Amino acid sequence: MLAVGLAALGILVATALTLSAFQENMMFYVEISDVKAGKVPNNRNFRVGGLVKTGSVHREEGEIELSFVLTDTANELTVVYDGVLPDLFREGQGIIAHGRMGSDGNFMADTVLAKHDENYMPPEVAGSLAKQQAANSAATTEETDPATEETTE
């Protein structure tokens, strides 16, 4: 029984260590604010998560490579990617990009994954919600940045 107790204790300690490792190093992705603060590995790949800024997706005619601005509404990061995008990739969508920082301060992605939230609703409901939101934001102040507007197709 002592051996079993010790084994159980051992597994518990191992679990606690794994949990704290998860907490510190195994975050699946980092926030944009951490990237901007330089809290990311320099010559290693990592994942960064955020929303695709509306109107920021930019692709040259006939090219696969595209760039877009990833935002957490306060900080922004330009992502460059040439590859296949998931179905859910679109402006305003939450995504996770895997890659590393380029020398020009842009994030060079080798994989782009789309995240979706826990809300499910019929298209008609989503449509009327979007209309309402648009009406609300039109009623308040206009918050468009002319600098990013130019990059829109």
Partner 1 sequence: MWKFFHKLASPPHFYDLANKIIPWFIVPAILLITYGTIAGLFFAPMDYQQKDAFRIIYIHVPAAYISMMAYMTMAISAGIGLIWRMKLAHAVAAACAPIGAWFTFLALITGSIWGRPMWGTWWEWGDPRLTSELILLFLYFGYLALRAAIDDTSKADRSSAVLALVGAINIPIIHFSVEWWSSLHQGPTIVREGGPAMPMEMLLPLLAMILGFTFFFGAVLLRRLRTEVLYRERRTGWVKRMIQPAGGEA
Residues at the interface with partner 1 (CB under 8 A): 4, 7-8, 11-12, 15, 19, 22-23, 26-31, 49, 84-89, 96, 111-127
Smallest distance from partner 1 to CB 37, Å: 16
Name the strand (E) or helix (H) holding 107: strand 107-114
If the CB atoms of residues 51 and 86 are measured against partner 1, the closer one turns out to be 86
Contact between residue 96 and residue 30 where contact means Cβ atoms under 8 Å apart: no
18 CB-contact burial (10 Å; exposed 0-12 / middle 13-18 / buried 19+): exposed
Smallest distance from partner 1 to CB 73, Å: 16
If the CB atoms of residues 6 and 145 are measured against partner 1, the closer one turns out to be 6
Residues 6+ apart with CB under 8 A from 68: 52, 53, 56, 57, 58, 78, 79, 81, 91
Smallest distance from partner 1 to CB 29, Å: 5
Smallest distance from partner 1 to CB 144, Å: 24
If the CB atoms of residues 83 and 105 are measured against partner 1, the closer one turns out to be 83
Give dist(CA 120, CA 109) in Å, integer.
29
Give Cα 48 distance to the centre of its chain.
5
If the CB atoms of residues 108 and 114 are measured against partner 1, the closer one turns out to be 114
